[in-house]
Copies of this chain bind each other. A is one copy, B any other.
Amino acid sequence: MPEQNSPLDLAVGDPFGPHNLPYGVFSTHDHPEDRRVGVRIGGHVLDAGAAAHALGSPYAQLLAQPDLTALLSAGRTAWRDVRRALTAWVTVPAHRPDIEPLLHPIGSVTLHMPYAVADYVDFYASENHATNVGKIFRPDGAALTPNWKHLPIGYHGRSGTVVVSGTDVVRPSGQRKAPSAAAPVFGPSVKLDIEAEVGFVVGVPSEQGRPVPLGRFRDHVFGLSLLNDWSARDLQAWEYVPLGPFLGKSFATSVSPWVTPLEALEAARIAPPARDFPLLPYLDDTGEEEPGGLDLRIAVAINGQVVAEPPFATMYWTAAQMLAHMTVNGASLRTGDLYGSGTVSGAEPGQRGSLLELTWNGREPLELPEGKRTFLEDGDIVTMTAWAPGPDGTRVGLGEVTGRIVPTS
């Protein structure tokens, strides 16, 4: 009776059930150099390339790969077809004898960065977050800059320091200057922070000089992951005028090993918030067929204690608008481009996605079991999780992103 105790017999409502099927890259302890595309089902990872071979699938060439690049670049029709095939492999009883031997308990494998990040862009698309930051840093001025509701503000980050969840983060050193000090001082950051974000992964490239309009979003973007945009607020405050964040962000950005395909999030699509200003045509999504917002519920925990539950549904700018803006000047896309939403913060204090906001720049410390926290201490472990409504009342789980702070070496 092989069906009994099968990893494919998931609890009802498992957030990583067959309605989800996120992609990643894993290796086993026996063959640490052999990276393989994996698909998460419940608490297991399916060796997708081996499954394709075992079942004689035509998708073996996309799945029997050391990373997701081939799949990402294959395009929307292939994404749909591969997903349909995978769904059958993990649900049709006749496939169980072939599939079950190819399932690895998640705890038994190493998860890797699933694709090479090409360009990394970080947006600033939460009105609540931008307003809070404006109030904290520019208390005498308008909280939002005049451009904020006309375009999704963004900037490029360092793709070479994007790391997979679980990688330790070394506390960065750098310059900081107190407002009253005559000169900057150097040392480890004393305001090390998190930013709870969602990162969108580009699959299909575009041509330089050719913008990607709103309606082509689904042709280019494959899926999304949770992302923690670690930030050193003291370094950032001193360096960022006039050309933006640099060392305050570039030391590390952590992403989940699991890329959730957009197709798994159909039931999570919602209308974005009402816009306060009419948008220029290339950003105006009022005529789009699909609503551009996503109802993702994020939870941020420090050392296991949930400190915030940021709702992605509140984001002012949609992922499609970010993509349209990012390319409207003719900038091209490459497979593996990653763009972050910016910190997700809701309207309520408990929904803020950064310690800067949660502690109001350190003035209102959080009470954790191990003591008060303004910013991160060495040894702190930050873990972000999320879920979205799935079909028929299910939940779609997003893969967690976690990281531990280690002292400056």
A residues at B contact (CB < 8 Å): 118-119, 121, 124, 145-147, 150-151, 153-161, 163, 170, 172-175, 177, 183-186, 208-211, 232, 235, 238-248, 250-252, 277-278, 280-282, 325-326, 328-334, 337, 408-409
Contact = CB atoms under 8 A, between A and B. Distances in A.
B247 A244 contact: no
A407 to B, nearest CB: 10
B243 A245 contact: yes
B119 A239 contact: no
Given A155-B243, A161-B332, 13 more contacts: A119-B158, A119-B159, A147-B184, A147-B239, A150-B183, A153-B242, A155-B245, A156-B157, A156-B158, A170-B208, A183-B278, A240-B243, A247-B331
20 contacts: A118-B159, A124-B243, A155-B243, A156-B158, A158-B331, A159-B159, A160-B331, A161-B331, A163-B208, A172-B330, A183-B277, A210-B409, A240-B243, A242-B244, A243-B244, A244-B245, A247-B325, A247-B326, A247-B329, A330-B408
Given A161-B208, A243-B124, A251 B154 contact: no
Residue among A118, A186, A244, A278 facing the most chain B CB atoms (10 A cut-off): A244
B151 A175 contact: yes
Give the interface SS of chain A, mostly helix, strand, loop or mixed. loop
Nearest 10 CB-CB pairings of A with B: A244-B244, A170-B209, A172-B329, A156-B156, A247-B329, A155-B243, A243-B244, A251-B329, A250-B331, A251-B330
A252 B208 contact: yes
B153 A243 contact: yes
Residue among A145, A161, A211, A409 facing the most chain B CB atoms (10 A cut-off): A161
A271 to B, nearest CB: 23
